[in-house]
Amino acid sequence: MLLAHGRSLDVVSQAELLEAPVGAAPDYETTCAASAIAEVARVCSFEDAEDPFTFAITQRALALVGSGLDAAHMDLLVAAFVFKLLSHVGYRPDFSACVLCGDPMLSYFSPQAGGLMCGSCASSVPGAELVSTGEVAWLRALMSMTFDALMAERVDPHTAAFLLGLSHVWAATHTDQRLRAMEFMLGR
Ligand SMILES: [Zn+2]
């Protein structure tokens, strides 16, 4: 990028495109997913704090979005990106056992409580979301598997959209920001 000194602000006089991960004319779903990724990367980035991990994970996620995924895998990718990046900046969910009592029988997700909970503890936490055993396994997979491995898994669209919704409440709660691109992707 070439900047020219202006009277009050500098002026961009020339810019050269180095990389276009989602291509020159991305379709609607690709644009939605790429916007959600960029938005979460933005709220997890801080001025004058260079972070090679955030750059690398965002670059890989955008490259996969641009590689032609179906809608379910697009949702799954963004959900994995959100949980992985939020974990990196300090908001790692606990998917191992009930966050309150350690019970291994998990049936609720609560961003306020910090992860998964058993049924009896969830009754005392407002806003806890019911999750199935299969969804618990998916949440763990989002954290433990690489993007590339996740993209090779079969996932039904309903589950992928549900996981995207959970990742959204996790990110919105812990960054304390409205995430409009994620809301748009979820159709909210
Ligand atoms: Zn419990």
pTM for the whole structure: 0.91
Q: CATH for 28-186, among 3.40.50.2000, 3.40.50.1100, 3.40.50.970, 1.20.1440.120?
A: 1.20.1440.120
Distance between start and end Cα atoms, the chain: 37
140-179: pLDDT as tens digits: 999 999 999 999 999 999 999 999 999 999 999 999 999 9
Q: Give residues whose Cβ lies within 5 Å of ion ligand 1.
A: 98, 100-101, 103, 118, 121
Distance of CA 104 from the midpoint of ligand 1 (Å): 8
State the CB neighbour count (10 A cutoff) for residue 112. Answer: 11
CA distances from 140 to 57, 119, 163, 175, 177 (A): 18, 19, 11, 21, 25
Residue 188: predicted pLDDT: 60
74-125: pLDDT as tens digits: 999 999 999 999 999 999 999 999 999 999 999 999 999 999 999 999 999 9
Distance of CA 112 from the midpoint of ligand 1 (Å): 14
pLDDT > 70? residue 41 = yes
Structure tokens at 122: 């969830």
Alpha carbons 87 and 144: distance in angstroms, whole number: 12
Which residue in 173, 175, 155 sits closest to 75, CA to CA? 155
